[in-house]
């Protein structure tokens, strides 16, 4: 199937072109806003060609994981089909006003706030990566080419690279302000202007006139150019969006285009400069201080512990959608320090995925699971290049435990990198390409890059060893090798006689489908034609987290029937670990499990046993 044909199919599964409000893309995902999510065929969408995963954590909004390179191609094909790439207008009406509730699926204020920060910075990532790579190459030239400034070719190349980096970094607050205005519903150019003000020398002049400037130590001034950085800009633009909307609602239409933007910016400028910038400046400084004390601590043990814990926890943060908020931290560090200290350690998580995947490939090959081997083989090149989604959504997360072992092994690489005080000129590139931005540590560009490569090797090897030791090869048997497991489940449900009877025991239950007829074993399983159901109350203190979700998805894939898990009004395919985690099923949640199709009864029996053992 061509990509154009698959694009048409994806559009159809999303409810048709008329149901799609906007389509955008990041490095690995299509980001789609729809008018009516009930028209979306999620199960078919998850199984479409090239789709690695589906994230639906907000009403009317879907993230379709298709992998690196493909996301932009599919977005372009969607636009060629007449779909909009609108920004604020591409959101459901209830999400255009930042004062309104963002929807029940966002999972609380913290996750919603981190998601918003991610949405502001995601469109800036190409510029962030380009500027960081140019800064890294310029640093390497400076350290490896003697007299580069006096050599025409090297001197021009160095200056060009430095200009590209400066074109982004000098006006980072302006880019952030523009994007924040798009996200909050303000006029984008006004948000960019507010952000631009932050970086101009006039702020220092205002500070001097008000007696807030410290001539002896400008960095300690209450108010100075750049104070508060991107955090101040985001807060200021949020205020701007509220003021602008209030003014526009009262301004005569004939005067709107002239006076609404003028009054909005004038009204916001004073509290922004005099209150928000100084206040958020202390917040930004505190954040930088805390992470500098951890990542660049003089105590080696502190750096090792910080590196291991932060790296080991990063993959679960990605699965829970909590990693979006880190971009604000990276931006604060980059603006305040000129480099990023946390990102190099977190980049080790991708190497952990690679090591775990290699161990799984070797075990799967031994048990003849060619399908899993093929998936891993296809995903490994992207993982080595720092694109982790194919391995996360296609391999480790669905299997459950390898997702955890990958993080545990990656932690050792993170500990080494942070112990060596490796720092980066940007964030975004990881894997082998990330070497060129890991050039800002105290050991110099070359030394920092070499320690980064050593960290990748350690993370990969340790994840390989832990995965090889923890994951038994029997858990990777191909789908057709599950008959013995089915008999074990039957024995648990009905005793030794029913296990010996095998299919006859299933037939007996299938034949007893009179209304009200139930089969009891612990909680009841209601059997109906043509579907089978049961309800289960979660007792696990953590609830439906990554490990049971991955194991449940693996178990569900052994059956041909359609299996759906419901928590209240939320529905998820049992084959998708991401969708299962997005149910938000904590302890005490009542889950309704339904199987419909050819082998529905066998599936419902096996899943009932699974829930009792794992949740």
Q: Could you report the per-residue pLDDT of 357-380, keeping only the tens digit for each?
A: 999 999 988 888 887 888 888 778
Q: Do 388 and 334 lie in a common domain? A: yes
CATH number of the domain within which 20 lies: 3.30.1360.60
Q: Is residue 150 part of a domain?
A: no
Res 526 pLDDT > 70: no
What is the layout of strands, in order, in the sheet containing 20-25?
A: 20-25, 29-34, 61-65, 53-58
CATH number of the domain within which 586 lies: 3.30.1340.10
Which among 362, 423, 354, 415 has a CA at the least distance from the CA of 386?
A: 354
Q: Is residue 456 part of a domain?
A: yes
**pLDDT score for 464:** 96
**Interval 570-580: pLDDT, tens:** 788 887 776 77
Q: Is residue 161 part of a domain?
A: no
Window from 10-19, 30-39, 175-184, 519-528 with minimum mean pLDDT: 519-528
Residue ending a domain, choose from 106, 122, 146: 106
Q: Where is mean pLDDT largest: 99-113, 285-299, 452-466?
A: 452-466
Q: Which of 26, 134, 460, 561 is catalytic?
A: 26
Distance, CA of 388 to chain centre: 10
Taking residues 496-517, report their average pLDDT: 35
Q: Is residue 138 part of a domain?
A: no
Q: Do 285 and 360 lie in a common domain? A: no
Contacts of 571 (CB under 8 A, 6+ apart): 42, 564, 565
Does residue 448 or residue 528 have the better pLDDT?
Answer: 448
**How many folded domains does the chain comprise?**
4
Taking residues 476-491, report their average pLDDT: 50
Taking residues 124-134, report their average pLDDT: 79
What does the H/E/C string look like for 188-208?
HHHHHHHHHHHCCCHHHHHHH
Residue 26 is among the residues annotated as catalytic for this protein: yes
Q: Do 491 and 370 lie in a common domain? A: no
**Interval 29-72: pLDDT, tens:** 788 888 888 888 888 887 788 787 777 767 788 888 776 667 77
Taking residues 93-105, report their average pLDDT: 41
Q: Is residue 90 part of a domain?
A: yes
Which among 332, 328, 122 has a CA at the least distance from the CA of 229?
A: 332
Res 586 pLDDT > 80: no
**pLDDT score for 489:** 39
Task: Report yes or no: 223 and 248 within 8 Å, Cβ to Cβ.
Answer: no
Q: Do 264 and 175 lie in a common domain? A: yes
**pLDDT score for 502:** 37
322, 355, 410, 461, 502 from 406: Cα distances, Å: 18, 7, 6, 10, 38
Taking residues 168-183, report their average pLDDT: 86
Does residue 130 or residue 352 have the better pLDDT?
Answer: 352
Q: Do 494 and 444 lie in a common domain? A: no
Q: Do 284 and 308 lie in a common domain? A: no
Does residue 358 or residue 88 have the better pLDDT?
Answer: 358
Domain extent, residue 190, equals 171-289
Which DSSP string corresponds to 107-124? -SHHHHHHHHHHHHHGGG
Average pLDDT, the chain: 78
**pLDDT score for 293:** 79
Q: Do 316 and 384 lie in a common domain? A: yes
Q: Do 591 and 449 lie in a common domain? A: no
Confidence tier at 544 by pLDDT (50, 70, 90): confident
Does residue 174 or residue 48 have the better pLDDT?
Answer: 174
Q: Do 340 and 457 lie in a common domain? A: yes
Q: Is 210 left (phi over 0), alpha (psi -120 to 50) or beta?
A: alpha
Res 107 pLDDT > 70: no
In this prediction the pTM is 0.57
**pLDDT score for 589:** 83
Confidence tier at 99 by pLDDT (50, 70, 90): very low
Residue ending a domain, choose from 53, 82, 106: 106
Q: Do 335 and 448 lie in a common domain? A: yes
Res 271 pLDDT > 60: yes
**Interval 513-523: pLDDT, tens:** 333 333 333 33
**pLDDT score for 85:** 65
Task: Report yes or no: 66 and 49 within 8 Å, Cβ to Cβ.
Answer: no
Residue 143 tokens read as 């350290």
Taking residues 519-545, report their average pLDDT: 60
Res 106 pLDDT > 60: no
Q: Is residue 126 part of a domain?
A: no
**pLDDT score for 609:** 82
Q: Is residue 380 part of a domain?
A: yes
Res 439 pLDDT > 80: yes
d(CA 601, CA 592): 15
**Interval 277-307: pLDDT, tens:** 999 888 888 877 887 778 878 899 999 999 9
In percent, the amount of the chain with pLDDT more than 70 equals: 83
Does residue 475 or residue 234 have the better pLDDT?
Answer: 234
């Amino acid at each position: 199937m061509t990509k154009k044909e698959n694009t048409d199919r994806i559009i159809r599964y999303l409810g048709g072109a008329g149901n799609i409000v906007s389509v955008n893309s990041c490095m690995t995902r299509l980001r789609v806003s729809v008018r009516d999510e009930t028209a979306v065929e999620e199960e078919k969408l998850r199984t479409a060609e090239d789709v690695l995963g589906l994230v639906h954590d907000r009403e009317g909004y879907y993230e379709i994981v298709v992998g690196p390179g493909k996301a932009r191609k599919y977005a372009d094909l969607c636009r060629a089909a007449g779909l909009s790439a609108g920004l604020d207008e591409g959101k459901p009406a209830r999400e255009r006003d930042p004062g309104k509730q963002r929807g029940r699926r966002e999972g609380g204020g913290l996750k919603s706030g981190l998601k918003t920060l991610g949405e502001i910075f995601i469109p800036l990532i190409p510029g962030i990566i380009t500027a960081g790579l140019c800064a890294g190459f310029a640093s390497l030239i400076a350290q490896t080419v003697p007299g580069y400034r006096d050599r025409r070719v090297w001197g021009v190349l160095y200056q060009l690279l430095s200009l590209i980096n400066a074109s982004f970094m000098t006006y980072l607050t302006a880019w952030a302000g523009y994007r924040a205005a798009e996200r909050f519903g303000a006029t984008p150019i006004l948000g960019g202007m507010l952000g631009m003000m932050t970086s101009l020398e006039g702020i220092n002049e205002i500070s001097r006139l008000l007696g807030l400037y410290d001539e002896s130590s400008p960095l300690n001034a209450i108010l100075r150019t750049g104070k508060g950085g991107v955090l101040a800009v985001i807060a200021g633009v949020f205020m701007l969006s509220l003021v602008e909307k209030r003014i526009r609602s009262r301004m005569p239409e004939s005067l709107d285009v002239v006076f609404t933007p003028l009054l909005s910016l004038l009204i916001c400028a004073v509290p922004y400069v005099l209150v928000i910038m100084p206040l958020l400046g202390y917040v930004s400084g505190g954040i930088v201080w805390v992470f500098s004390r951890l990542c660049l601590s003089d105590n080696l043990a502190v750096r090792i512990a910080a590196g291991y814990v932060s790296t080991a926890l990063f993959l679960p943060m990605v699965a829970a959608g909590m990693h979006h908020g880190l971009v604000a931290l990276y931006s604060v560090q980059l603006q305040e320090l000129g480099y990023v200290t946390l990102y190099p350690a977190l980049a080790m998580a991708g190497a952990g995925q690679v090591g775990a995947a290699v161990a799984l490939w070797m075990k799967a090959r031994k048990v003849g699971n060619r399908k899993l081997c093929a998936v891993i083989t296809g995903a490994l090149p992207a993982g080595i290049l720092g694109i982790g989604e194919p391995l996360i959504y296609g391999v480790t997360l669905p299997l459950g435990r390898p997702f955890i072992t990958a993080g545990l092994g990656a932690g050792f690489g993170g500990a080494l990198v942070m112990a060596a005080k490796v720092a980066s000129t940007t964030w975004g590139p990881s894997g082998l390409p990330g070497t060129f931005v890991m050039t800002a540590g105290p050991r110099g560009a070359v030394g920092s890059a070499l320690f980064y490569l050593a960290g990748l090797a350690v993370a990969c090897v340790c994840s390989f060893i832990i995965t090889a030791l923890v994951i038994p090869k029997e858990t990777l048997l191909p789908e057709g090798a599950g008959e013995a497991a089915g008999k074990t489940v039957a024995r648990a449900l009905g005793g030794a006689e029913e296990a010996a009877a095998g299919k006859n025991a299933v037939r007996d239950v299938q034949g007893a489908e009179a209304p009200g007829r139930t089969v009891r074993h612990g909680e009841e399983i209601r059997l109906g034609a043509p579907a089978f159901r049961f309800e289960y109350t979660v007792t696990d203190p953590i609830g439906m987290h990554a490990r049971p979700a991955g194991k449940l998805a693996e178990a569900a894939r052994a059956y041909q029937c359609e299996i759906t898990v419901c928590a209240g009004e939320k529905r998820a395919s049992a084959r998708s670990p991401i969708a299962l985690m997005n149910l938000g099923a904590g302890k005490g949640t009542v889950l309704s499990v339904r199987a419909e199709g050819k082998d529905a009864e066998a599936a419902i029996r096996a899943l009932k046993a699974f829930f009792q053992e794992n949740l």
